[in-house]
Chains A and B, each alone.
Chain A
């Protein structure tokens, strides 16, 4: 009760300081929010590009009608074995017929050459590696592991292929981009924390005399701190709301251009509010520690000596 009324008094009696604090916090959180949105979209884009990192396992044709079921059983075994490989995310089976359909779509000019009676295309497995294993080294590993199953799958595999060069180029790009993104994020985070901490410090500094008086008349440290911490966290929460709303409406205003930008609204609101809250409460705590120690001693002396 006391804590709440003191915190509200702090916010409303010091309108200028409150406004400055919240303004600075909101702006920092907004910039950080922009960064998060960019990062999210970058990751989505990277994931999209990496979906194309895959490995194709072409299967031998089945020689005769009567051994069909035996061969199909071996194909199933092979499917299970590939799926069980650690680095593999998922496997898709492409039948001869599906391969033909795809071919016709890709090369319509050759359609007439081929037909249900003449289908030279093999059935295949398309193997998608898990995220984090989408480089040619891992593809090579997977490929080796598939070849090691040959004795069980009894030579169903005709050939394994993957595009080595572009996969590694993509991987280098992804690494560079993620690194740049992390560094930018770190810089923004450090700058924001620094600016916010200083604003809060200013806020507490402006009221150091009040803190001194409170302590003088017998308020315990925790009693003095609680309203400040509550005030700091309220500032933080409101700044978080302001920043995420601003972000939300900026994207709305970008309108048509922004339709492809992913913006997880609720998580964004929650993240920015949470960061604001934590920074507000932590920053207040840090600044308070200094003025709680024994704030009036030195001042008292300077004052006392000057007036005499």
Chain B
């Protein structure tokens, strides 16, 4: 479970990127965070993977609470949270295999296990044939799949996606979105920030809308009220 409790984030003086946000996200759910550019979507996600700390209130992610988590334990939180970005953030000087292997190496996984895990995850994403290529040799959609593989291979309990289809062509976008839904149906919590409202039309999933750092609508809350 993820909990935001009266969270306020100010990057600069007199400007609240997030203004007194309170909500919880259930284990195993799929949640959209939508809103225009600058509304605070990325800020919400950054708080979840511990890139920043709130100025007021707290964020509880699994057993970790921010603020409160010691600096030397932040990396433990990040190992539990899979993150994918609009710009993929793969290491350009490493092959697909090395990129994914890296996240397992940092936790001291044995080489044999690493090999097995990578072949499983790449097979499930139909990327096995690209295993020894470099990121620049792949299309946007393929690179995003690699970054999903990198996030998945460590079995995170939540997958955080910040505009995951922003740099991917429409066909690839549909595939990425489908993959995220599949990941969710196998039990992983997924939180996806997007400003493309096409995704959220008639969606069965929860949609939290932000404007200027405030929640303006939340489909789950409505259902509760009704």
Interface residues of A (CB under 8 A from B): 2, 9, 13, 209-210, 212-221, 223, 294, 296-297, 300-301, 303-305, 307-308
Q: How far is the CA of A308 from the CA of B86 in the complex (A)?
A: 11
A210 touches B91 (CB 8 A): yes
Top 6 A-B residue pairs of the complex, sorted by shortest distance between their CB atoms? A218-B79, A218-B78, A219-B106, A217-B103, A308-B37, A220-B75
Chain A minimum-CB-distance residue to B103? A217
Secondary structure of the B side of the interface?
Answer: loop
**Interface presence of B214 (CB below 8 A):** no
- A/B interface sample: 10 pairs, CB < 8 A: A2-B106, A210-B91, A210-B93, A213-B90, A214-B106, A218-B76, A220-B72, A220-B75, A297-B46, A297-B52
Q: Mark B91-129, 1 if CB is under 8 A from A, else 0.
A: 101000000001101110000000000000000000000
User: Inside 8 A of B83's CB, which chain A residues have their CB?
Assistant: 216
Count residues of chain B with CB under 8 A from any CB of chain A.
Answer: 32
The residues of B with any CB-CB pair to A shorter than 8 Å are: 37-38, 42, 46, 49, 51-52, 72, 75-76, 78-79, 83, 85-87, 89-91, 93, 102-103, 105-107, 150, 154, 162-163, 166-167, 195
Given contacts A215-B75, A294-B52, A300-B51, 11 further A-B contacts (CB under 8 A): A210-B93, A213-B90, A213-B91, A215-B78, A216-B49, A217-B78, A219-B106, A221-B75, A297-B46, A297-B52, A304-B86
A-B interface contact total, Cβ < 8 Å = 66
**Is the beta-carbon distance between A294 and B51 smaller than 8 angstroms?**
yes
Shortest C-beta distance, B60 to chain A (Å), equals: 19
A218 touches B75 (CB 8 A): yes
> Which chain A residues lie closer than 8 Å to B76 at the CB level?
218
User: Which of A212, A215, A221, A301 contacts B42 (CB under 8 A)?
Assistant: A301
CB-CB under 8 A from B72, the residues of chain A are: 220-221
CB distance from A98 to the nearest CB of B (A): 75
- A214, A218, A219, A301, most chain B CB atoms within 10 A: A218
Provide the residues of chain B in CB contact with A307, threshold 8 Å.
86-87, 166-167
Q: How far is the CA of A16 from the CA of B52 in the complex (A)?
A: 34
Smallest CB-CB separation from B73: which chain A residue? A220
Specify which chain B residues have a CB less than 8 angstroms from the CB of A2 in the assembled complex.
105-106
What is the CB-to-nearest-CB distance from A208 to chain B, in angstroms, rounded to a whole number?
Answer: 12
Q: A209 — which chain B residues lie within 8 A by C-beta?
A: 89
Q: Are A218 and B102 in contact (CB under 8 A)?
A: no
